[in-house]
Chains A and B, each alone.
Chain A
Amino acid sequence: DIQMTQSPSSVSASVGDRVTITCRATQDISSWLAWYQQKAGKAPKLLIYGASTLQSGVPSRFSGSASGTDCTLTISSLQPEDSATYYCQEAQSFPLTFGQGTRLEI
């Protein structure tokens, strides 16, 4: 199984700040990675797929990148509504696995 390790587990930032969340896979996943945003009491929402492609309707302040086994989610110019937990998910092979989540407090 591919294990996904996210860091940090939580982060606190202010409106207008830039935040980066990292996900490291135990093997090369060739950009087969998704990022999800989950707000309290809601289902996860797909933000980015293919490591760097923005899902339709997602604000452009969200961006993703990948390099080898490392993937990053960057949120530039944080907004109050970005307060949520963010998860990465590898999509290369079964069993599909998720990172443990990063809680972002604004």
Chain B
Amino acid sequence: QLQLQESGPGLVKSSETLSLTCTVSGGSISRRNYYWGWIRQSPGKGLEWIGSIYYSGSTYGSTYYNPSLKSRVTISADTSKNQFSLNLRSVTATDTAVYYCATYYGATNYFDPWGQGTLVTVSS
């Protein structure tokens, strides 16, 4: 049974880079047909999909980003650690949110399961 756990700083300064890692247990992130994604939740914007990565064992994974964040986001994977990561550059107070990692099978785009979430606050 897959389990996901987010980790990273809970406080990031404005204009800096938010970096989070999702550690996966119960299965390999390079297993076929599994996609790995990031979603955030803020009081002002509700649930927002950030992006997803598909890593099939090749040297790099396919990534899909929300156009509203694409210019600032990078999602990558580290198969040696069974982790995938989120980097969000040039953050502002509007990036303050609970960040979740989640997975889905195939190209279904239905997220299950989710990590417990981690609150990231952007301060000036």
Q: Given contacts A43-B100, A43-B114, is CB(A91)–CB(B49) below 8 Å?
A: no
- Among A12-68, those with CB < 8 Å from B are 32, 34, 36, 42-46, 49-50, 55
Interface of A is mostly: loop
B25: shortest Cβ distance to chain A, in Å? 16
**Per-residue contact bits, chain A 93-104, to B (CB 8 Å; 1 contact, 0 not):** 011111111000
Whole-angstrom CA separation of A8 from B117 in the bound complex: 26
The reply to whether A95 and B68 form a contact with Cβ atoms under 8 Å apart is yes
Q: Does B47 contact A (CB under 8 A)?
A: yes
**Segment among B8-16, B53-61, B77-85, B104-112 that sits at the interface with chain A:** B104-112
**Per-residue contact bits, chain B 32-53, to A (CB 8 Å; 1 contact, 0 not):** 0000000000000011110000
The reply to whether A43 and B116 form a contact with Cβ atoms under 8 Å apart is yes
The reply to whether A43 and B49 form a contact with Cβ atoms under 8 Å apart is no
The reply to whether A34 and B110 form a contact with Cβ atoms under 8 Å apart is yes
Whole-angstrom CA separation of A91 from B109 in the bound complex: 5
Cβ contacts under 8 Å, B46 to chain A: 87, 98-101
Q: How many residues of B contact A (CB 8 A)?
A: 20
Range, interface on chain A: 20 to 34
Q: Given contacts A43-B116, A94-B64, A95-B67, is CB(A87)–CB(B47) below 8 Å?
A: yes
B105: shortest Cβ distance to chain A, in Å? 10
From A42, A55, A101, contact of B112 by CB (8 A): A55
Chain A residue with Cβ nearest B49: A96
B52: shortest Cβ distance to chain A, in Å? 8
Further pairs besides A46-B112, A95-B68: 4, Cβ < 8 Å? A1-B67, A34-B111, A95-B67, A98-B48
Interface set of A (CB-CB < 8 Å, partner B): 1, 32, 34, 36, 42-46, 49-50, 55, 87, 89, 91-92, 94-101
